[in-house]
Structure 1
Amino acid sequence: MSADAGGHSAVTAHAAPGDPLVARLLGPDGVAALETIELGGRLRQVFKGAPRTLAGIYRQAQAYGDRVMVVQDDVRLTYAEAFAKAAALADSLQARFAIGPGSKVAVVMSNRAEWIVSVLAITAVGGVAALVNSRGVAAEMLRAIATADCELAIIDADRADIIAADTPDPTWPRIVVGEPSSGLRDGQDADYGELTSTKAGSVFAAHESHPDAGGIVLFTSGTTGFPKAALLSQGALANSVAIACFMGLVQDVRYEQETGEVLAPERRSMATPAVILGPMFHLSGIMPIFRAISLGTTIHIMTKWNVDIAFDMIETVGMSRLSFVPAMLWDMLRSPRATPETLGKVAYMANGAAALNPTLLAEIRRRMPNCLLSNTYGQTETTAWTCSISGQAYLDNPSSCGWAAPTVEVSVRRDDGSEADVGEPGELWVSGAGLMTEYLGDPKATAEALQDGWLASGDVATIDAQGIVTIVDRKKNMVISGGENIYCAEVERVLADHPQVGDCIAYGRPDPRLGERLEATVMVAAGSAVGEDDIKAHCRANLAIYKVPRTVRIIHEALPRTASGKVDRGKYLKQIAAG
């Protein structure tokens, strides 16, 4: 048992051994050390000497000057240039839009350099950047902006036009990147290019926020099907960056131990560029960006997944470390450019999505024998890091997500709150400096998720005698398809809105490329002419494209139900599996 700063006792799995290499590197003779500080009114472990806020990270980064910060297609910005643009934008945020500490500003863009500059500017003035899913339809983006109570949106022209077609005159002003066909509203909107032009006297000076102050908002769905706005503090973000930097060092040491190869300086974790392969509005996008800024490395932005561009980056910019989803790796291994020489340049690959298909894992081991593999588990609500495992330990436990990360505590509990036995399934609870502050505007959901300094993950897990965590089921019915989290409740809500659908269920099925594929079954009245294409069209009109079921089964009989009247998901999925 351990006691938190609020005086509450909490069950913890720290009695079980952790990753031996991590323990050694954090030991008395190691390269890093932890200390205990107060965050959010509770005592938390953090890395000693690491920045406590984004301002601390930015101060480090301003010294990188002429190093290249961002590369996106033909756009290249040095650290000095990016901070100059951010300084000019920050001045306008304060003077023209009255944005300051605590103000929420939506960032609604595709992957691009302006996205990074906008986040720098918002957080520099003490504001909170709400990172909206730019792949959504107008209703989804509008709901996210409203949920986070944003005072302003920095938005690209394409997204501005999508929203304008639904809501021509939103209540919040916009700073628009590009030229929207809907135009700019006089006295309300502004052009991003004009605001970021270099101004005499604009100096980047980040507001000295408290570690408990808000940093960013990310959106996550739950059992209601509507996205919730998770507020992540400056301290949580800074701690997550410190964990990422430390774990990079762990991977360097483990690689050299297990392969016998000494990594060249340019292939070490502190030197390799960050390559953003997926959406930047996810933690898997924003956290590598913050990490790169803290280290002074280059951020290469892929505006859309393209396997040839990925190989270009491996061959020309030294992309030796990949954070991938299974679908990306599937594409790469089937490319004619996947030669032994090119694949051999990749030293490390991290999977943070659905578990790797055993066939795909075997192919990686055969074709990339010296590549160190890892699996990580985390959530938006934990600012990414919960568990990690790599190297031979991962190969020995391919279905697991590993040991608790440094500064993180984990516990598996029964429904009555008691600690589960070794190997016994129960709900995974997480504690540490990375926990979210709250779900904005949703105190009920916040109270359910955060209890006595611990987060109820909603996932069912086991912890073995070595302290290794394995996720065995999801209490929240979520599909991870191609790296995207799709909550079945959200899809089912849209399906149920179709006038001819009487009942419905959305679910995931194994897929060799995507990890899982989203499918759905809908019950319609006998004699109804509605078909699969009609249901898909309805979903496309109301959901982001990746949330549209790839297969829709039409049935005329009732779905099985539990005694409480809910759809019996387990029974129905067994029926499908049985054919």
Structure 2
Amino acid sequence: MPHTDPSSSPDPAALARIEASLTAPGAPFAVVRAEHGPLVYAHGPRTLREFVETTWAFGEQPFLISGDRTCSYGEFFAAASSLARRLTEVYGLRPGERAVVAMRNSPEWQIAFWAAQLAGLVAVPLNTWWTESEFAHALDDCEPAVLLVDGEQLPKLAGRARGAGARLVVFRSEDALPPGAERYADLPEPDPYAAPPEVEIRPEDDSTIIYTSGTTGRPKGAVATHLAQAGAALNPRYQAAASALGRGVLPGQGPAPVTLMTFPFFHVAAFTGLYAAMAAGGTLVLMEKWDVGEALRLIRRHAVTHYAGVPATALQLLAEADRAGDGLESLKGLNTGGAAAPPDLVARLTARHGERVEPRNGYGLTETSGGVLAAFGAAYRAHPDSVGTPTPVTEVRIAGPAGEALPDGETGELWLRGQSLVRGYWRDEEATARAFTGGWFRTGDLAVVRDGRVAVVDRIKDLVIRGGENVYCVEVEAVLHDHPDVEDAAVLGVPHPVLGEEVAAVVRVRPESGVTAEALRAHVGRSLAAFKVPAHVRLTREPLPRNATGKVLKRELRDTIGTGA
């Protein structure tokens, strides 16, 4: 399919000119076809070590803000280099060995992750929401040589670390340590002039193992090479440049962005925002856990220019700002990802703030190493049901039952191919073979392409087939979100003896709302066919269960749906 640019201008001719200026031979985002098939960027870093080494030039510019602490780029790079040298020279670790990182969002998380990259190790960020048994599965699977953990995660990991003979470095803890563990705070002060260790890192070497969210089964370790992660680092730079040109602004001009980072660092959506900030010398303001009131306070205190989070938290932020009379004056961009964004998010943002705050949405998976499709600005406002257009190194196919490419306007499975795709699943050839076909990754999402823009219709497994009629849950959820009393909604299928399945919904309503289930059913019926109207609606004022990436855990909701409203 043609590589249309995610510009903030919806004019096709303008889009084509912007794409040509950025991707032509010799341009910053020119692409070439790799020998093994995918498109790759012709210029730019080939490993994450090359990428991070350029950040030392930002020196004393603030990189990470956590509470009252600010860590500059210079301090960060010195600390990461020092830890990398300890991993290689003191611990004797060698390129290719795995380094688990398990911490809440903090400057130390970034120091640990990038130390692993500078040492040539394979970084394995683990989900801090996991239980001890879930951690045990991942540790048994990836067999790490070192664990870089904070005090909060230590009790869930220490036993496995000792049993596996792995080294253990503990951050942000004053408690007693298990035998053989080292406290990061006790290590020698970083030498600001010391270089990273001299190790050979090739583009084809493994860089990360990131475990899938596991909403439908055991998490699998998606393995990305350095070349894939380097492509993931360039993707948001391209999107930022296209956005700037679409607004008539020269890319790279103006002050560096200040981003409120609410994604947990172990999730690929966080990597997209992280890479964008690091490439521009931007600042990340960190939150250890989500709190909407604290988010507003941090935005005011640090003059935050960009918000990065799942749609659910973005909607909460806009609602709380309205209640508090906070105009979000410093905000220039509202970036969402990690889960499907309801179309009314853009409408709410525009109604309150006009075109001053640029909306951004995108699409990416663990298997794509972050966002590979993006929509923003006027194009996103004009097509709020779209997740945008692909980056220059991302190819899109809408596949039919036999894998054949379907024409524009037809719904099929979304397949992706490109530089940032993972090479497969760690030590799981069967799962890799199921998910990858001829270099294409089968996303499991139903999508449609119109005029180069991709709209994700639903997860294939979330499709409700009611008496032979297809009901896309995302479509019904979008209509529910459009009701003024609805804060969140999840639509799913429940068994029916005759129809096979019926449509059901769990809806979180606003605290002051008196809306009824029947009123919500009537609201849906005014926009959608009768067979799409939920037969069962359960109202709640509690947050819907979500995993760390923001996806609703529908398997937990199915048991709560009765046979009546």
Q: TM-score, normalised by structure 2?
A: 0.77
| Mapping 1:484-523, distance limit 5 Å | 509=506, 511=508
Change (3 A) 1:101 1:508: farther
Let me know the Cα RMSD of the aligned residues: 3.7
Match of 1:32 in 2: 28
TM-fit CA distance, 1:438: 1.5
TM-fit CA distance, 1:340: 7.2
TM-fit CA distance, 1:272: 0.6
Structure 2: which amino acid aligns with 1:405?
A: T
TM-fit CA distance, 1:323: 2.1
TM-fit CA distance, 1:409: 0.4
Structure 1: which amino acid aligns with 2:246?
A: R
Equivalents in 2 of 1:145, 1:407: separation in Å? 33
The one-character-per-residue Cα deviations of 1:290-324 (angstroms, maximum 9, x if unpaired) are 33223222222111223233333433433222223
SS in 1 for 2:320: coil
Contact 2:339–2:551 at 8 Å: present in 1 too? no
| Mapping 1:337-352, distance limit 5 Å | 342-352=327-337
Change (3 A) 1:79 1:256: same
Change (3 A) 1:283 1:506: farther
Specify which of 196, 204, 209 is matched with residue 212 of structure 1: 204
| Mapping 1:93-492, distance limit 5 Å | 93-164=87-158, 169-171=162-164, 172-179=166-173, 181=175, 183-186=176-179, 188-195=180-187, 197-198=189-190, 202-205=194-197, 207-221=199-213, 225-256=217-248, 265-266=253-254, 271-335=256-320, 342-370=327-355, 371-464=357-450, 466-477=451-462
Equivalents in 2 of 1:554, 1:343: separation in Å? 37
TM-fit CA distance, 1:126: 0.5
Match of 1:51 in 2: 45
Equivalents in 2 of 1:14, 1:251: separation in Å? 19
Equivalents in 1 of 2:198, 2:73: separation in Å? 15
Contact 1:136–1:545 at 8 Å: present in 2 too? no
Change (3 A) 1:26 1:254: closer
Contact 2:358–2:377 at 8 Å: present in 1 too? yes
Percentage identity across paired residues of the two chains:
25
Equivalents in 1 of 2:504, 2:163: separation in Å? 35
The one-character-per-residue Cα deviations of 1:393-420 (angstroms, maximum 9, x if unpaired) are 2223222212222211000111112222
TM-fit CA distance, 1:511: 4.7
Residue 55 of structure 2 corresponds to residue 67 of structure 1:
no
Gaps of 5+ in 2: 464-472, 478-489, 493-501, 511-544
SS in 2 for 1:98: coil
Structure 1 window deviating more from structure 2 (204-213 vs 57-66): it is 204-213
Contact 1:91–1:202 at 8 Å: present in 2 too? no
Contact 1:131–1:281 at 8 Å: present in 2 too? yes
Equivalents in 1 of 2:121, 2:395: separation in Å? 30
Contact 2:29–2:392 at 8 Å: present in 1 too? no
Contact 2:6–2:375 at 8 Å: present in 1 too? no
Change (3 A) 1:238 1:423: same
Match of 1:14 in 2: 2
Gaps of 5+ in 1: 1-12, 489-504, 514-538, 556-574
Change (3 A) 1:290 1:402: closer
Equivalents in 2 of 1:199, 1:18: separation in Å? 43
SS in 2 for 1:343: coil
The one-character-per-residue Cα deviations of 1:494-552 (angstroms, maximum 9, x if unpaired) are xxxxxxxxxxx999745578xxxxxxxxxxxxxxxxxxxxxxxxx99xxx998697757
Contact 2:81–2:115 at 8 Å: present in 1 too? yes
TM-fit CA distance, 1:429: 0.7
Contact 1:386–1:430 at 8 Å: present in 2 too? no
Equivalents in 2 of 1:75, 1:49: separation in Å? 36
Equivalents in 1 of 2:347, 2:313: separation in Å? 16
Change (3 A) 1:473 1:356: closer
Contact 1:378–1:384 at 8 Å: present in 2 too? yes
Structure 2: which amino acid aligns with 1:317?
A: H
Match of 2:526 in 1: none
Match of 1:491 in 2: none
TM-fit CA distance, 1:180: 6.4
Equivalents in 2 of 1:434, 1:111: separation in Å? 24
TM-fit CA distance, 1:127: 0.5
SS in 2 for 1:334: helix
